[in-house]
Amino acid sequence: MATELSTGRPSLRQRLWAFYDSDLIWSFRHSPMAILSAALLAIVAFTSLFAAWLMPQNPFDITQLYLDKANLPPIWIEGGQMPYLLGTDLQGRDILSAIVYGSRISLIIGVASVALSMTIGVLVGLMAGYVGGALDNFLMRIGDAVMSIPTLLVAILISAIFRGMLPVDYRDAAAPLILVVALSLTSWVVYARMIRAATMVEAGKEYVLAARIIKVPRRRIILHHILPNVLTAALVTATLNLGLAVLAEATLSFLGVGMPSAQPSLGTLIRIGNQFFFSGTWWIVLFPALQLTLIILAVNLLGDWLRDALNPKLK
């Protein structure tokens, strides 16, 4: 206690209580939709992270696939068997296990692409907004050129180029990295424009002008003074764009230019199951599609809540 009083720093308990008592947490505790969305995403993340211990089968391990268990219906339909709660596909792969493992791949690619695009966009926006002039004009024209091309078309082009450059043996292993790069090359412009506008506003305020007068280095002004004040808007946008990134990855995998069948994401599972939809094995495509819908819906609802909670005009 003497150390805390002498340093004047709040204890860990005080910091945790201050966070719990903040306006953001109060808004979260009084929003049933935000709580439900966060709980759903937490369940998906938890089951995906510990899939090896929770699921009855590893869908990537061919030694665990049994052809005599192929095309089993869900457990509540006649012919269903335990432990295949949602049935199996034509290779004997457990649909529930494939969904959980596929959700992990989709979430990892979505989060990584959003993080990379936000990092690029924030850096570009800070440079363009603070420096201005010719650099601002050059960076924004690049952004305009990128935005003029449809996102999926650019992603397909980038994915095809990288796959053509890599040896055949390395294409499947590099597929997640290729998708992250392909999705990030078009998404950074949204962050760059937003951060540029916010940086131009912050650059004209008194604390930045005072830092310039006392000769604070430009890099320190940008990273330590302006960045913390403009990062909130980027984080809200990143939350909203996470659902779009997961959907874009699923679309690319559905079109056959995303994750391979040996490492199926939700989009790959939907593409495989779509081929057998009219043959009576509807569960192969229905349950992965429902999982994808729930993830995107939960992310969008959570992003909408975060946008409203951090909007000072709504307080």
Condensed to tens digits (0 to 9), the pLDDT of residues 47-77 reads 888 888 888 878 777 777 777 777 777 888 8
Domains of the chain, each with CATH number or no CATH: 1-25 (no CATH), 31-314 (1.10.3720.10)
pLDDT given at position 92: 76
pLDDT given at position 236: 82
pLDDT given at position 1: 42
Find the mean pLDDT for residues 74-83. 80
Let me know: does 223 contact 150? Beta carbons within 8 Å.
no
Percentage above 90 pLDDT, the chain? 3
DSSP code at position 224: I
Per-residue exposure over 19-53, b if at least 16 CB sit within 10 Å of its own CB, e if not: eeeeeeeebbeebeebeebbebbeebeebbeebee
**Residue 311 burial (10 A CB sphere; 0-12, 13-18, 19+):** exposed
pLDDT given at position 130: 83
Let me know: does 203 contact 130? Beta carbons within 8 Å.
yes
Find the mean pLDDT for residues 70-89. 79
CA geometry: angle at 71 spanning 83 and 281, to 5°? Answer: 115
Condensed to tens digits (0 to 9), the pLDDT of residues 232-281 reads 888 888 888 888 888 888 888 888 777 777 777 888 888 888 877 777 77
pLDDT band at 32 (very low <50, low <70, confident <90, very high): confident
pLDDT given at position 2: 44
Is the predicted pLDDT of residue 4 greater than 50, yes or no?
no
